[in-house]
Amino acid sequence: MNWTTFLQFTRGPLFQASLLIFVGGMAYRLVRVVLLGWKGDKAPAKGSKLAGVVKTYLKGFLIFPFVPWVKRTFNRNPIIYLAGGLFHLGLFSAIILGTPHMLVWKSLLGFGWPTLPLPIVDWLSAASIAAMIALLFYRRTNPVLKLISGPAEWLNWLLVFLPMVTGYIMTHHLFFQYEVLFSLHMLSVDVLLIWIPLSRISHFMFYFFSRTIHGVEFGKRGVTP
């Protein structure tokens, strides 16, 4: 098997299998969480629940992250805030607004969208990778984080880091032939897709549930932050 056939395998059957495991696995996780149920709400609401949800998304997800000084996370721990923020920003810019990734979405969804120029995505990705290294260093040195980090946490870091670093090297045509890194990039993505439903990386989905429920609680009590 040469790199070209390996690439066909990682882009073809393996990717399909991983994608199906990912989709099925996330459906499983979602159903499990939803069917845990929640207690009926008998107290009269003081404020609008919907307004609470809207406000919490606006402030917590769309505005406050970009206005650092209002966030307690920033004041308490700027490294986590900056590195964590940059990591997520870079990651999602590349996955959604990078041209090659948009073409993946287009092939799966049937429609595409405008993308960012390569240099912009490139710098954001580089920042993302640097942020991940900083976060790893922090996790290795902070006594509390060290205490709560097990094999799954280190694996989370590694399996997210590998697609990012192989993708970055591949885009710059560095060190190896293009198809070698393309294959490794696809392989690492395939492994990551299988790993996500089994791991806390699934927070990309549950984050929205927890934020919605928080918003409902805030709105109900009329204490929207």
Partner 1 sequence: MSEETIYQRLENNGVSRRDFLKLCGTLAGAMGLAVPPLEASGLPDHLLTENKTIHKIARALETKARVPVIWLEFQDCAGCSEALTRSQSPTLIDLVLNTISVEYHETLTAAAGHQTEENKQNIMQQYAGQYVLVVEGSIPMALGGAYCTIGGRSAIEILEEAAAGAAAIISTGNCAAFGGLPKADPNPTDAKGVWELITDKPVVNIPGCPAIPEVFTGTLAHFVIFGALPELDDLNRPVTFYGKTIHDRCLRRPFYEAGKFANSFDDEGAKQGWCLYKLGCKGPTTYNACASIKWDAGLSFPVQSGHPCLGCSEPDFWDGGGFYQGQSAPLNRPAATVVGAAVGAGAVVGAAMAANNAAQKKRAVQASEE
Binding site for partner 1 (CB under 8 A): 2, 4-5, 7-8, 11-12, 15-16, 19-21, 23-32, 35-36, 99-101, 103-104, 106-108, 115-121, 173, 178-179, 182
| Cβ distance to partner 1 smaller for residue 11 or 220 | 11
| Cβ distance to partner 1 smaller for residue 28 or 209 | 28
C-alpha 131/C-alpha 180 separation (Å) is 26
3-state secondary structure of 222: coil
| Cβ distance to partner 1 smaller for residue 81 or 92 | 92
Minimum Å gap between C-beta 215 and partner 1 is: 25
C-alpha 206/C-alpha 214 separation (Å) is 12
Minimum Å gap between C-beta 100 and partner 1 is: 4
C-alpha 97/C-alpha 106 separation (Å) is 12
Minimum Å gap between C-beta 127 and partner 1 is: 18
Side-chain-side CA neighbours of 204 within 13 Å: the count stands at 13
C-alpha 163/C-alpha 58 separation (Å) is 31
Minimum Å gap between C-beta 16 and partner 1 is: 5
